[in-house]
Structure 1
Amino acid sequence: MIKTQVAELKPNKTMQRELDRLCDYRRYCWNLALATWQDMYEARTLDKDNNPSPNERRVRDELVNNKADWQFALSARCLQLAVKDLSNAWKNFFDKAQPDWGKPHFKSKKAPRQGFKTDRAKVINGKLRLDKPRGIKSWFDIPTYEALKMEEVKIASIFRERGHYYAALSYEEEAGLKAKTGKKTAIDVNVGHFNYTKGKINVLPAKLQKLYKRIKHYQRILAKKRRANGKLAGRSNNYLQVRTKLQRDYRKVADIQNDLLQKFTTELVNNYDQIVIENLNVKQMMMTHVASKGMQ
């Protein structure tokens, strides 16, 4: 079984600087790979005989062959995994059943979350050790606020959000056999709740609705400031304070929704042997303004 543990990191100033560089490098590699992929595709449409279709290997080789000198001071796996993720994103684009279906787009440095991936991270004495690039002298193991559950890491996804650094570490764990319960259940998706054999699960509780009202209030404040001050609005301290509160509430909403769904799915798996769900196009249902919030 593949499990993932998300832990907050405690990097020193040197490692914070290196993590920021790797986050920027990941975004650079993704955008360059996406532009290269699109150029190869356009060349393929113009001349199919002399231009092969783009794929992960061709795009990766193109980026590696044209690396600048400054790129050799950063992790090579950052570039290769960025191209691999881009290839998976293009595959998902042709499968509308994927939850994150959509055309790959360029990454922005203004996005609230920045991150990178590596498959050469190790856990040494309870600390996370990332792969050290060549030519770097100062390099440290990164402690975490909570104990790490694994000894070997498959993929480490490091990301920065609101000035904090986190690591999503995937690892293998032997799965025990689940005892048979002999029970079956069916799930009916509705606006704001799920119906199943045992009863009803409310996924739009009162605390979530209060947060939505507060988010709407902060959005109106920011919109008024932008209308009044234009591009200069982002430089004021009041604007930054309100935006920070808005981001905090968005994060709370995501945590509450994720907690509800994780507990519900865990209960289903533990208590039932057979689970039946409707064949609904939930993504298309969310596009209507009537039920989009409840469906989300």
Structure 2
Amino acid sequence: MVTMMLRTQKVKLYPNQAMKKVLDDLCDYRRYCWNQGLALWNDMYDASVILADKKQRPNARKVRDELVANKADWQYQLSARCLQLAISDLGKAWQNFFDRAQPDWGKPHFKSKKAPRQGFKTDRAKLVNGRLRLDKPLGVKESWSDIKFKGAHNLTGELKVVSIYRENGQYWASLPFEVMVPEKTKTGVKTAVDVNVGHLDFTAGRFNTLPSHLQKIYKRIKHYQRVLARKRKVNGKQATQSKHYAKTRAKLQHDYRRVANVQHDLMQKFTTQLVSNYDQIVIEDLAVKQMQMSHVASKGLHRSLFGYFRQVLTYKCEWYGKTLLVADRFYPSTQRCSVCGHIKQGDDKVTLAGNHKHHTKHDQYICYQCGATLNRDANAVANLLALL
């Protein structure tokens, strides 16, 4: 069976100086449209509350039409689709605000020009001879050509809305394609994944999410952060004007980018392994943000990418026709004995540090009902696997 899916490929752009200026202007224009639309949205909503008239409540169409009607002359030099897509995304953001189940739930906020990442969207981009072609803005007299890019593999399918953004002085693009994805061969095997800080356990073993080469990069990041902090403490605001400060900050940004690439590569490989070898997969539904607020292992939780793992595994299961079951958030996979079914409560519970009452280690699970001595992670995997 073949299904149509949306696949996105991230590529690095290499624009010339004239095109860099245009891309920067479009990034600024996207932020301007978002902020203007959000301010207008808030004003419309306040007016509807004061007048007690639900018909005057804002929506994406009303806000867009109002902004288009009040366009300034300079706005006609830039792409009209930039404004329309910005307001469309603003409307989606307000819809997500009323759904607390969203991973980044919250009220839409104004965009800052100081943010390290700036970008815009366009549905007018095309791929011509292996390069990215954008509409030429009005009034641009400098050399205009298609943008070279690097990092693309087997780009086929219909190109959808393209996201272009600037980060740390470099330009990137997310190219979404609607492609035909064949289902993977059925294996008839099922598995469960228990997520932990630094590793993921499943029926076939353990996958390390914090390998040694990644930990070395984290040590370098810690060193660069201390160097920059020391310079700011000694020199104040003048520290950022020195060449050595800029050089160290560039090294820090390079290592952050490298960490993200390594982590994403690990998760992509592991999730592909799961959907290739198993037909049914069970994972946990964890309240990651609440867990990070405890400050017990917040840094390790952040680096383990629990949310990204679930996101990637979800869409890959949809692609290849595999079944993904998300256990209930309050299912006691760690506290339940996989042999007799007894659930630990109160002082008997197993924590990240083990159990202080019975002096057990963090990786031990001892059931005081049936006497079973189990590995904590293997016991959690068995309990999750019992849900299938």
User: What is the TM-score normalised by the length of structure 1?
Assistant: 0.92
Partner of 1:262: 268
Partner Cα distance (2:65, 2:189) in 1: 52
Using the alignment, how far apart are the partners of 1:4 and 1:141 within structure 2? 20
Structure 2: distance between partners of 1:180 and 1:151: 26
For residue 81 of structure 1, report the CA deviation from its aligned partner. 0.9
Q: Distance in 1 between matches of 2:174 and 2:26?
A: 16
CA change 1:131–1:48 in 2 (3 A) is farther
In structure 1, the residue matched to 2:134 is: 130
Return closer, same or farther for 1:250/1:147 CA change in 2, 3 Å cut-off: closer
Matched, 1:105 2:121: no
Question: How far has the Cα of 1:214 moved from its partner?
Answer: 2.1
Aligned length: 296
* Cross-structure match for 1:12: 16
Match of 2:33 among 23, 29, 32: 29
1:215 corresponds in structure 2 to 221
Q: Which residue in 1 is equivalent to 2:344?
A: none
Higher alpha-carbon Rg? 2
Q: Which residue of 2 aligns with 1:43?
A: 47
Unpaired runs of 5+ in structure 2?
Answer: 303-388
How far 1:289 sits from its partner (Å)? 1.1
Contact 1:22 1:78 in 2 (8 A): yes
Aligned to 1:235: 241
Per-residue CA deviations over 1:228-270 (Å, capped at 9, x if unaligned) read 2222222121221221122112112211221111111111111
The offset of 1:147, in angstroms, is 5.3
Closer/same/farther in 2, CA of residues 42 and 229 from structure 1, 3 Å limit: farther
Output one character per residue of 1:119-175: Cα deviation in whole Å (capped at 9) or x when no partner: 111112222111233454553222223556135311111112222222111011111
Q: Amino acid of the residue matched to residue 107 of structure 2?
A: K
Residues 244 and 117 of structure 1, relative CA distance in 2, 3 Å threshold = same
Q: Once the two structures are aligned, what percentage of the paired residues are identical? A: 64
Matched, 1:280 2:255: no
**Following the alignment from structure 1 to structure 2, what is the Cα–Cα distance between the partners of residues 260 and 80?**
36
The residue number in structure 1 matching 2:77 is: 73
2:157 touches 2:178 (CA, 8 Å); kept in 1? no
Q: 1:283 aligns to what SS in structure 2?
A: helix
TM-score (norm 2): 0.71
Cα distance change on mapping 1:227 and 1:129 into 2, 3 Å: same
Cα distance 1:172–1:295, how it changes in 2: closer, same or farther (>3 A)?
A: same
Whether the aligned pair in 2 keeps the contact of 1:60 and 1:83 (CA below 8 Å) is yes
| Alignment equivalent of 1:290, drawn from 292, 296, 300 | 296
Which residue identity does 1:19 align to in structure 2?
L
Counting only pairs closer than 5 Å after superposition, residues 158-237 of structure 1 correspond to structure 2 as 158-237=164-243
Q: Structure 1 segments of 4 or more deviating over 6 A?
A: none
Q: Which runs of 5+ in 1 are unaligned?
A: none
Shift of 1:9: 1.8
2:306 maps to what in 1? none
Please report the RMSD computed on the Cα atoms of aligned residues, expressed in angstroms.
2.0
Q: Which has the higher contact order (CA 8 A, sep 6+)?
A: 1
CA distance in 2, matches of 1:176, 1:51: 47
Q: Structure 1's 146 and 258: CA in aligned 2 closer, same or farther, altered over 3 A? A: closer
Secondary structure of the 2:111 match is coil
* AA at the equivalent of 1:143: K
